[in-house]
């Protein structure tokens, strides 16, 4: 049998080997870096023949705090809970699972809850997911209309640093840039220094749990509204 010898000058041999990711067994470090900054996760940056291998990569997963996919999911869940909530019977199941109490699924909502990612498992061992807990929290937490100042944007990472005035005027938080550009219909560069208006859960303690919805351009604000010190600094 003739043994095939690889040509050392072929393109596939000249291409530098990718450093494996130290945090997962399925991707290269470069792929996970891109995946964390993409709502499409690592799969969105992988050839079709390899998507099965990287599917569910924990470095970019929708269930991993801080990834773009996770941030987008928190927005989706919050909007679902506040703008188009589920029937009360479905929510009662989530509340029962949160408190580890028994429940009866008379209307057959478990299938829908599982499809939405709010519950996992099967009878009789159903469990509520972090997404389900976020939904229930969003149903009861208070949300306030607040000015949001855009301090800077990172077009490569697709993030923006903003001050959510109603939450903490001295602590910038990171949000998805595309959420702002889509809502304001402005380029990233044009957003810097502008004030937007949004609904926010201003009582949260963790900046990663701060979720903005109903974003729009802010009306004109009175001079010195953020305090005498800022008004003096701008003179």
Which segments within 14-166 are labelled E, that is strand? 119-120, 127-128, 144-154, 159-164
* Reported confidence tier of residue 235, pLDDT bands at 50, 70, 90: very low
Q: Give yes or no for a contact between 57 and 87, defined as CB atoms under 8 angstroms apart.
A: no
Rounded to two decimals, the pTM is 0.83
User: Which is more confident, 72 or 232?
Assistant: 72
- Report domain extents, the chain: 23-61, 72-140, 144-217
**Which numeric CATH code is attached to 144-217?**
2.40.50
pLDDT digit string, tens, across residues 30-59: 999 999 999 999 999 999 988 899 999 999
Question: Residue 127 pLDDT more than 70?
Answer: yes
pLDDT digit string, tens, across residues 158-196: 999 999 999 999 999 999 999 999 999 999 999 999 999
Question: Residue 229 pLDDT more than 80?
Answer: no
Strands 173-176 and 144-154, sheet pairing: unpaired
User: Which is more confident, 228 or 70?
Assistant: 70
């Amino acid at each position: 049998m003739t043994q095939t010898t690889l040509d050392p000058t072929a393109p596939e041999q000249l291409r530098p080997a990718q450093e494996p990711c130290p945090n997962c067994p399925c991707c290269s470090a470069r792929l996970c870096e891109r995946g964390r900054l993409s709502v499409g996760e690592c799969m969105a940056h992988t050839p079709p023949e390899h998507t099965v291998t990287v599917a569910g990569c924990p470095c970019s997963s929708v269930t991993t705090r801080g990834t773009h996919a996770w941030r987008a999911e928190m927005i989706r869940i919050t909007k679902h809970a506040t703008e188009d909530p589920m029937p009360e019977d479905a929510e009662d199941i989530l509340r029962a699972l949160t408190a580890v109490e028994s429940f009866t699924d008379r209307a057959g909502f478990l299938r829908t809850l599982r499809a939405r990612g709010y519950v996992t498992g099967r009878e009789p061992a159903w469990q509520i997911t972090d997404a389900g807990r976020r939904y229930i929290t969003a149903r009861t937490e208070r949300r306030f209309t607040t000015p949001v100042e855009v301090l800077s944007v990172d077009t490569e990472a697709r993030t923006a640093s903003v001050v959510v005035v109603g939450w903490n005027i001295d602590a910038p938080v990171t949000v998805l840039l595309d959420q702002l550009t889509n809502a304001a219909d402005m380029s990233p560069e044009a957003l810097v220094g502008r004030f937007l208006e949004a609904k926010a859960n201003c009582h949260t303690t963790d900046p990663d749990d701060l979720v903005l919805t109903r974003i729009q351009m802010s009306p004109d604000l009175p001079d010195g509204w953020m305090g005498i010190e800022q008004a003096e600094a701008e003179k």
